[in-house]
Structure 1
Amino acid sequence: MLDALTIAIGAAALALAAWCGFAAYRDQRTMDWHFIGMAVVTLLVVVQLVVGIVQLARGEKPAQGTTIFVAYLLGAFACVPAAGFMSLTERTRWGSLTVSAGGVVLAVLEVRLFDIWGG
């Protein structure tokens, strides 16, 4: 996998988590610009998903198994959009906190993906 991309996604996910966590601290709901941030992070994860699938198609193997690698890739892909959808149903500060938690979960998933690939 591309280590720089994994680090960039982890950093962007933590920045999104801090941004939405600050909004929750200020008792703000998830705003449009938060969704733009979620879209940027999701776009990075889509690039990672494509890179991971291409590397698997070329015959490269993750150190801890293909099945678990694909499962973590798909989980990382679904993490932020799921948190964003949940924040749409909860239009209070708890929606912002949900997106913040989703960002932290994505950062942890990125660390685990790095380990699974053999980093």
Structure 2
Amino acid sequence: MLVALTVAVSVTALALAAWCGFAAYRDQPTKDWHFIGMAVVSVLALAQLVVGIVQLARGEQADEGSVIFVSYLLGALFAVPAAGFLSLSERTRWGSVTVAAGAVVLAVLEVRLHDIWEG
């Protein structure tokens, strides 16, 4: 799998977590700019899903199994959008906390994806 893409997703997810965490610290809900950031992170996760599936289709193998690898790719794809959806229902600082937590979960999933692929 492309290490550069994994690093890009991780860094942008952590930046989103810091940004939303700062908004929560300032007692602010998620704003439109936060949703644009979530969209950027989600597009990167979608690109990673496509690259991962293409590599599996070309015959490359994940060290810990293709099913687990694809499952983690799907989890990484939906982590931030799910947190963003939940933040819409909670229009307080806790919505920002939810998105920050979802972004941290995505960063952890990226580390695990790298471990699954490389062994």
Shorter-chain TM range is: over 0.9
What is the letter of the counterpart of residue 118 of structure 1? Answer: E
Structure 2 CA distance, aligned partners of 1:4 and 1:58?
19
Aligned counterpart, 1:29 = 29
What is the identity, as a one-letter code, of the residue corresponding to 1:54? V
- In the alignment, what sits opposite 1:17? 17
Q: How far, CA to CA, are the matches of 1:67 and 1:49 in structure 2?
A: 13
Instruction: Tell me, in whole angstroms, the C-alpha distance in 2 between the residues paired with 1:89 and 1:55.
Output: 37
Please state how far the C-alpha of 1:57 moved relative to its aligned partner: 0.6
Give TM-score, length-normalised by structure 1: 0.99
What 5-or-longer segments of structure 2 have no aligned partner? none
Give CA-to-partner distance per residue, 1:74-115, whole Å, 9 cap, x none: 000010000000000000000000000001000000000000
Structure 1: gaps spanning 5 or more residues: none
Residue 38 (structure 1) aligned with residue 38 (structure 2): yes
> What is the number of residues matched between the two proteins?
119
Structure 1 moving runs of 4+ over 2 Å: none
- What TM-score results when the alignment is normalised by the length of structure 2? 0.99
Counterparts of residues 1-119 of structure 1 (less than 5 Å): 1-118=1-118
Code of the aligned partner of 1:12? T
CA RMSD in angstroms comes to: 0.6
